[in-house]
Chains A and B, each alone.
Chain A
Amino acid sequence: MLRLLGALFVLVGTGGLGYLMAVGLTEHAANLRRLVAALQHLESEIVFASLPLSQALRRTGRVIGGEVGQFMEAVAASLAQNDGRTSAVVWREALAAYGPELLLSAAESEILASLGAALGGSDREDQAKHLALARAGLQRYADEAAEKATKGKKIWYYLGFSTGALLVLVFY
């Protein structure tokens, strides 16, 4: 009886681990997709609506939602304080705080970091270029991540359960 319970625990444990890994993959892909959508939205707020940066970010954050939205709203809130920091500094700090939650890789963070350094510091045309560049870069990673997620999800599920099953078979 005790052995059966133990075997069940092992199976659930490894299976759960596999599930978590799969969820991480999907979430990463979803975040990248959200970021691309957010930059698209931000571009229209900046280029067409000419909203001040803090307002443009706040509105984008509300529309996009999720952790990406929280990141943007955090930048907007710091900017609205008018405490003598430039948007580049505020963006960098927020990125450091939210980056891990967004599950971004170093390369993906780097794209956002260089966008942050340019945001709000030049004319409309130039802003549009920076935003389009960052969006294109993130889109590439988003596609990759989506592919990885669909394939990887199943692999991690199976791997989790089959490892559990193997352990049970060997030690039962």
Chain B
Amino acid sequence: MTVSFTETWLELFPARLRALLTEAPPEARRRWQEIRLRIGQPVLVLTAREEIWLPRPEGIPLLPEDLQTTFQIMTQNSLYALEEELRRGFITLPGGHRLGFVGHAVLERGRIRLLRQISSLNLRLARAVEGVAEPLLPLLVAGGRFLSTLIISPPRGGKTTLLRDLIRSISRGRPDLGLPGRQVSLVDERSEVAGTYLGRPQLDVGPRTDVLDGAPKAEGMLLMLRAMSPDVLATDELGEAAEAVVVAEAAKAGVAVLATAHAGSLEEARQRPVLAELLAAGYFQRLIVLDASHGPGTVKAVYRFAPTREERDGACSGSWVPCSFWSERVASGT
């Protein structure tokens, strides 16, 4: 597994704040996860374990101009080009970093039209982790086809990272596993998987991947099925009934689905109506369960769907059984 970490985000700050941030040694900066700026408060940096006020020890309050210039530079002096982003409160920056912002909301017919007078910024630093999907892939491929897979994980479990790495691997292809490069359609509602910024994916999602950025999942997945004829349809965070309908649609059309969902375990997933239905109908053939307790990206279990009876429209009944291969690997600690 390689973790590539570039400090592209340092260039996103105006000179004054850049000087402040570079006071910390590069090794320390590698552990940073979030940088928070608030008017009248010092810069706050969060790592997995601690919070740091900059400059040390207790920081100097930020001026309104600091936020204004930072925001302007981070939006490449082109706020006007970010209509949709100004409404939803975040943008993805070069390098895949994500900037959240709030301030004064300008309303139109009772809904937020845009945000002005930005008073808080939160920069979440992206780390591209390549190779997390490596040990899992052999379990997800059969007869040269990628099998429909659902990744479930509690928050901060690393499911988006795993999803991105799987998409990249499928898109590139794995000839050693008999899997040629597949056409992947990614519906990236929150620009989190590909990190699209001004129309260009900032994170590597592979050479055969089409990204529909910012679209609602159900509608976007249908559009992808019709417009791009994918081999694999990928999306983040399934959970709505309308999305389940499209997953069924994809299964009928013989398109593999790769998706994530919020749940800590198979049992927990079964308690959520939509997920329970999806799991029971056999639209997914593999289930990966992530575990946040040993750090993001730890795989707790992999299940495979053992169908017992074929039903109409691509659905079938069956049961989920743990993959013995994976259990053995976990037991032997490799």
Contacts and interface: CB of A to CB of B under 8 A. Distances in A.
A124 B114 CA distance: 11
Interface string A109-132: 000000000011111101100000
Contacts of A56: 78
A44 to B, nearest CB: 12
Nearest to B8: A82
Interface in B52-94: 68-69, 72-73, 75-81, 83, 86
A149 interface: no
Contact of B73 (A47, A51, A86, A124): A86
Given A87-B72, A123-B114, A53 B83 contact: no
B80 A127 contact: yes
B76 A124 contact: no
Contacts of A46: 80-81
Interface stretch (B12-20, B28-36, B167-175, B231-239): B12-20
A124 B72 contact: no
Interface residues of A, number: 23
Contacts of B76: 52-54, 79, 82
A131 B68 CA distance: 21
A100 interface: no
Nearest to A87: B77
Interface string B145-184: 0000000000000000000000000000000000000000
Contacts of B242: none
Nearest to B68: A121
Contacts of B68: 121
Contacts of A79: 76-77
Interface in A46-60: 46-47, 50-54, 56
B198 interface: yes
Interface string B1-30: 000000000010111001000000000000
Interface of A: 46-47, 50-54, 56, 79, 82-87, 119-124, 126-127
18 contacts: A50-B81, A51-B81, A52-B77, A52-B78, A54-B76, A56-B78, A82-B73, A82-B76, A84-B18, A84-B73, A86-B69, A86-B77, A120-B72, A123-B79, A123-B116, A124-B80, A124-B83, A127-B80
Given A50-B81, A85-B14, A126-B80, 10 more contacts: A46-B81, A50-B80, A52-B77, A52-B78, A54-B77, A82-B76, A120-B78, A121-B77, A121-B79, A127-B80
